[in-house]
Structure 1
Amino acid sequence: MTTFDKREEGFEKKFAIDEEQKFKAQARRNRLLGLWVAEKLGMSGGAADGYAKEVIAAEFEKAGDADVVRKVMGDLTAKGVAMTEAQVLAKMDELFALAVVQVKAGV
């Protein structure tokens, strides 16, 4: 195996690890978002955990954040909670940064 081959293999492994961490961080972000929205909806305990799982599942319906945003905005609107899409997106960004730190720390 040449040095080039070893280097290429190293980059491929790093890419795989980075993608796995990104996936875990997105799932963690969605869980944190679900708990945050659940609080806004007046949920706690098991109901909040159940809602967080629904938010995580919303991402798996279709790739991307649009389904997650659509779900939480629909639920917030249905309960009469005043929240803009921009506020939800900003919270998602904030929670993603926190989730990345947690995933890298193994929390």
Structure 2
Amino acid sequence: MTTFDDRERAFETKFARDEEMAFRVTARRNRLLGQWAAAKMNLTPEETDAYAKAVVQADFEESGDEDVIRKLFGDLTAAGVEIDDAAVRKAVEDMTVEARRQLIEAQ
């Protein structure tokens, strides 16, 4: 039975590691998205840092990416930035790849 127990523990460990990595990628991505949007809105460095944190917090409103996309799109249009929903979604995809790359390189 120990072989099965060892396999079960290994799968549980891998699952936990994968979930942690997914969480870290999402958090990093949201921070990068906040910095991207802040640059488009011409925010100061202090405002950029605060805004990036606000985007990370916005992700906890509901599951999925729609809460972050809504926040980014709403804030960008309110600031007078000409952007459409597709451009925001493309930025989400691009920043996901960049966040994953940064975390892999950091290991």
Q: Is 1:85 aligned to residue 89 of structure 2?
A: no
Q: Secondary structure at the match of 1:61?
A: coil
Q: In 1, Cα distance between the equivalents of 2:58 and 2:35?
A: 14
The residue aligned with 1:48 is 48
Identity %: 49
Q: TM-score, normalised by structure 1?
A: 0.93
Q: How is 1:94-105 mapped onto 2 (pairs within 5 angstroms)? A: 94-105=94-105
Q: Is 1:5 aligned to residue 5 of structure 2?
A: yes
In structure 1, the gaps of 5 or more residues are none
Q: In 2, Cα distance between the equivalents of 1:95 and 1:74?
A: 19
Deviations 1:24-72 (A, max 9, x none): 1000000000000000001131110100001000001222111101111
Q: Aligned pair count?
A: 107
In structure 2, the gaps of 5 or more residues are none
Q: Secondary structure at the match of 2:82?
A: coil
What value does the CA root-mean-square deviation take over the aligned residues? 1.3
Decide whether the 8 Å contact of 1:31 with 1:53 is kept in 2.
Answer: yes
Q: TM-score, normalised by structure 2?
A: 0.93
